[in-house]
Structure 1
């Protein structure tokens, strides 16, 4: 944990009018700094380390779909959380990726200051790169605290983003098959 980050949180707490010495806040700057490092740990990760050789030869040519991968991220505009789920589909091209690696890839990009639109693209491109897939589809559905807790304060709002690559984009029937999978 960086002392600089702790000092900045101390200054923020004091600048909103709180007493940094009261019991409930004594250790808050250190805890907040530690939490922020955890919430942004994606900056210290890279695709090669995440995949860690878990790419396997396979003759499968049919679509593989992984649904409902939870994600927690921080909006880069207000540093407030957005929470949701990611659905991934891909068409193998002689290689498949270990199942847990999909969640790790999602987390790597979610654990950065982020906007949902960019994260969707980053996940799709990372999977294409990792397995040289014939096609990749990523759909993210999330609720954004920056829209729910402040500003327009719309509690039931959510955002859906999608990115299609390769055959998932070029073939409507393939795209529809993926979308049908994630609806159930």
Structure 2
């Protein structure tokens, strides 16, 4: 399987950049589905952050956060349906932990918005920090899965069968003559 990989030479500086990166190349169907789900999550994060930074309308911000919460829950449910090759990766567990922490931060931010709590700003900062961490873990997971599914070399997967005594003798005679 050969998939063209986009270069990571450019820096991913926004949640939208991550979403675009995730759509650029795909190794297989499972990878494509996870990338699509992550892209949706990244878009929801981007919309919530942008709304929070450009608007003072608490209702609009809360609406974005509620949508993000639903998206994060659906994404977490999606993860449970991935095959055993994903679940076997160490990075998968790390990503699931990061996603759980992100969901908790989303819930805390949403509650602070709904209660018009003075800690809303701190909750937003914590959410944004965890969003970056979670998406970083997701990119690592995708990268590790795609590298694992690539052939390591062009060598046959099984050693050649042992040669018979006649074959070894013929090879020895050929070496003597040359």
- When the two structures are superposed, what TM-score results if normalisation uses the length of structure 2? 0.25
The structure where helix makes up a greater share of residues is 2
The structure where strand makes up a greater share of residues is 1
Asked which structure has the greater CA Rg, the reply is: 2
